[in-house]
Amino acid sequence: MKTGLFEAIKRAFTRQPKLHPVEAGLAKRWTKQRLIVVFPELRNNPKALEAAYQSLSLSPREGTEEGEAETVFEMRAPEVQCE
């Protein structure tokens, strides 16, 4: 519990890692290619592909665990409103 609290405080006060534009472009391209493989209907529909990519809400963070890359992209699931 203490490490979780410490990590949350640390993330709150540290800035996101500066991501090189080339790395950001490569990550976006790779993600879109994977989306096309999984959802072939997006292949000839660039607007739908961009909307699908944006709905993933990817955010970069520094790799903290052993074996992780220097920068790791986390995907946040869309929030669902329950009544």
pTM: 0.58
Q: How far apart are CA 41 and CA 52, in angstroms?
A: 11
Quickly state the pLDDT bin for 3 (edges 50, 70, 90): low
Quickly state the pLDDT bin for 25 (edges 50, 70, 90): confident
Q: pLDDT tens digit string along 35-76? A: 999 999 999 999 999 998 888 877 777 777 777 777 777 777
How many angstroms separate the Cα of 1 from the Cα of each of 5, 7, 64?
Answer: 6, 10, 17
Q: How far apart are CA 27 and CA 29, in angstroms?
A: 5
**1 pLDDT exceeds 60?**
no
**Which one has a higher pLDDT value, 15 or 31?**
31
Mark residue 67 as left, alpha or beta (left: phi above 0; alpha: psi -120 to 50; beta: remaining).
Answer: left
Q: Which two tokens stand for residue 34?
A: 């994977």
Domain boundaries, the chain: 22-83
